[in-house]
A and B are shown apart, each in its own frame.
Chain A
């Protein structure tokens, strides 16, 4: 469902230097699978996800969503992908219902189909009690749920989430990850980035660790962790850093 092959993204910095933000990354996410993209800040996680979301153009390599190449068929890729960015970007004045309506309309949904889809999302995201309240008056967890609903409004088979639990407390993060696990059970391919390893350690089917724009380790939790004892230990070992005491 999500296929990334030798993906490269280079920028020219303000000083004129070439910055290799992503440097030959490859991985895949199958339907019904949740994959965790791990890495420190600046490792290239967000740049990779943004190339998948057609927000950045790859320098080279390929990225496909549902068989659609993000470079040659970006509209097809957008139709098949839901994207949740690190910043919720939920307009303060609009309500959850209005936001979901607006973004459904951006996908060509209208009439009864749009109404039914918005009602269903409000129900499954547990937003019924605050669906008509301005988003500026919602809690961080509720805003993040609106953000997830906005990504799901067109019922995409693939979902990409960039550090979705960042602004959430422990309970909010737990609820969101349980919800994502439900989406995975629904047959969607889910790729989420995070540097809060303990939260996703037991949620993801596989992990891909990026460091310096390259994949330095990948595999199931058991294969990834190996003899190191835990995901954090494996993470520090893979990037060549000693775990802080």
Chain B
């Protein structure tokens, strides 16, 4: 018998109703399973090792361990910024775009959770994957003892990593659903224009960037606000840390709501698929 046998029996009945959160978690598990490939794991290993390698190189150049403040600045640039940003760029943008471009999204979208679960599950997978890489990178950097009194940075930097992943994964979901065929390029553009350029402009648009909230939190956590140069004061927000955390979470909700609305509304004619 080379082919399937006809007349399979029917299963016990219809599947049980799946709550929205369970559908999102099920999609996230599926996406994480798909991420467990040798190239992805190699990339993740680089993400874990990279911050420590840079910090050790900086310490070697100074012939001493890094003082607390300098270490914090370098660690911030390396982990919540570089590792999180790059990790998310190579995770959520290709994941969403790949689903939409190759037509594989339909197999998930025809399940009860629909497109909403597809997007939110993919977002959750990207946050968990990138967050795990960044936190392992942070732990490894602190374990080497290259930063003076480095362990005091663990709590604040864990918060920064989590917020960076949550907010920026939501931000990068937008270009992925708007221009799936060019999602990586569009996401890099968003990262540069929104997160870096706009994040450095002391204007109202700053309020919509994750960067502003992370910069502000870093300054507050490190208690640098009194010693910060006046021109740099313009780049941070006056409100307390709790307001910054709430702002990032609110931004993530707004970005995701827009991305879900676009995905629900968009029609993908068969001719658009490659």
**Chain A residues within 8 Å of B, Cβ to Cβ:** 11, 21, 46-47, 50, 53-57, 74-75, 78-81, 83, 85, 87, 89, 91, 93-94, 98, 102-109, 113, 116-117, 120-121, 123-127, 141, 145, 148, 150, 152, 154-155, 171-172, 174-176, 178-179, 181-183, 185-187
| Chain B residue contacts of A117, Cβ below 8 A | 11
| Chain A residue contacts of B112, Cβ below 8 A | 75, 78-79, 106-108
- Which of B25-33, B85-93, B136-144, B193-201 sits within the interface? B25-33
Q: A46-B270, A155-B14, A182-B5 are in contact. Are A93 and B36 (CB under 8 A)?
A: yes
Asked if B227 is at the interface (CB within 8 A of a chain A CB), the reply is: no
| Cβ distance A117 to chain B, nearest Cβ, rounded Å | 5
B107–A150 CB distance below 8 A: yes
**Chain B residues within 8 Å of A, Cβ to Cβ:** 1-18, 22-23, 26-27, 29-30, 33-34, 36-37, 102-104, 106-114, 117, 267-270, 273
Task: Report the Cα distance A75→B20, complex, angstroms.
Answer: 11
B16–A109 CB distance below 8 A: yes
| Cβ distance A151 to chain B, nearest Cβ, rounded Å | 8
Name the one of B6, B107, B113, B117 contacting A185, with C-beta atoms under 8 angstroms: B6
Would you call the interface of chain B mostly helix, strand, loop, or mixed?
loop
B104–A89 CB distance below 8 A: yes
Residue of B3, B13, B269 with most chain A CB atoms under a 10 A cut-off: B3
Q: A85-B103, A85-B107 are in contact. Are A54 and B114 (CB under 8 A)?
A: yes
| Cβ distance A50 to chain B, nearest Cβ, rounded Å | 7
Task: Report the Cα distance A192→B268, complex, angstroms.
Answer: 21
A107–B3 CB distance below 8 A: no
Q: A55-B106, A89-B103 are in contact. Are A11 and B6 (CB under 8 A)?
A: no
A107–B15 CB distance below 8 A: yes
Task: Report the Cα distance A126→B4, complex, angstroms.
Answer: 5
B110–A83 CB distance below 8 A: yes
Closest to A105 in B: B26
B18–A78 CB distance below 8 A: no
Closest to B23 in A: A106
Name the one of B2, B8, B103, B114 contacting A171, with C-beta atoms under 8 angstroms: B2
A182–B7 CB distance below 8 A: yes
Name the one of B3, B110, B113, B269 contacting A47, with C-beta atoms under 8 angstroms: B269
B27–A106 CB distance below 8 A: yes
Summed over the interface, the residue pairs from A and B with CB atoms below 8 Å come to a total of 152
Q: A47-B270, A53-B110 are in contact. Are A102 and B3 (CB under 8 A)?
A: no
Q: A78-B114, A106-B113, A182-B7 are in contact. Are A91 and B34 (CB under 8 A)?
A: yes
| Cβ distance B21 to chain A, nearest Cβ, rounded Å | 12
Q: A108-B15, A172-B3, A186-B8 are in contact. Are A55 and B109 (CB under 8 A)?
A: yes
Residue of A55, A116, A183, A185 with most chain B CB atoms under a 10 A cut-off: A55
B269–A21 CB distance below 8 A: yes
| Chain B residue contacts of A78, Cβ below 8 A | 110-112, 114
Task: Report the Cα distance A74→B117, complex, angstroms.
Answer: 14
Closest to A109 in B: B15
| Cβ distance B148 to chain A, nearest Cβ, rounded Å | 44
B4–A124 CB distance below 8 A: yes
Q: A81-B110, A171-B2, A182-B7 are in contact. Are A106 and B18 (CB under 8 A)?
A: yes
A179–B3 CB distance below 8 A: yes
| Chain A residue contacts of B34, Cβ below 8 A | 91, 93-94
15 A-B pairs whose Cβ atoms sit less than 8 Å apart in the complex: A53-B110, A56-B269, A57-B267, A74-B114, A75-B112, A89-B104, A98-B33, A102-B30, A103-B111, A104-B15, A108-B15, A121-B8, A123-B5, A124-B4, A148-B4
A182–B8 CB distance below 8 A: yes
B2–A54 CB distance below 8 A: no
Task: Report the Cα distance A150→B37, complex, angstroms.
Answer: 22
| Chain B residue contacts of A53, Cβ below 8 A | 106, 110
A155–B10 CB distance below 8 A: yes
Task: Report the Cα distance A186→B9, complex, angstroms.
Answer: 7
Name the one of B3, B15, B108, B109 contacting A155, with C-beta atoms under 8 angstroms: B15
A171–B6 CB distance below 8 A: no
Task: Report the Cα distance A54→B113, complex, angstroms.
Answer: 12
| Cβ distance B107 to chain A, nearest Cβ, rounded Å | 5
B5–A155 CB distance below 8 A: no
A75–B114 CB distance below 8 A: yes
| Cβ distance B52 to chain A, nearest Cβ, rounded Å | 29
B7–A79 CB distance below 8 A: no
Task: Report the Cα distance A187→B101, complex, angstroms.
Answer: 35
Given A53-B110, A102-B30, 20 additional A-B pairs, CB 8 A: A54-B109, A56-B267, A89-B102, A89-B107, A91-B34, A106-B112, A107-B15, A107-B111, A108-B16, A108-B17, A108-B18, A120-B8, A123-B5, A125-B4, A126-B1, A148-B4, A172-B3, A178-B6, A179-B4, A183-B7
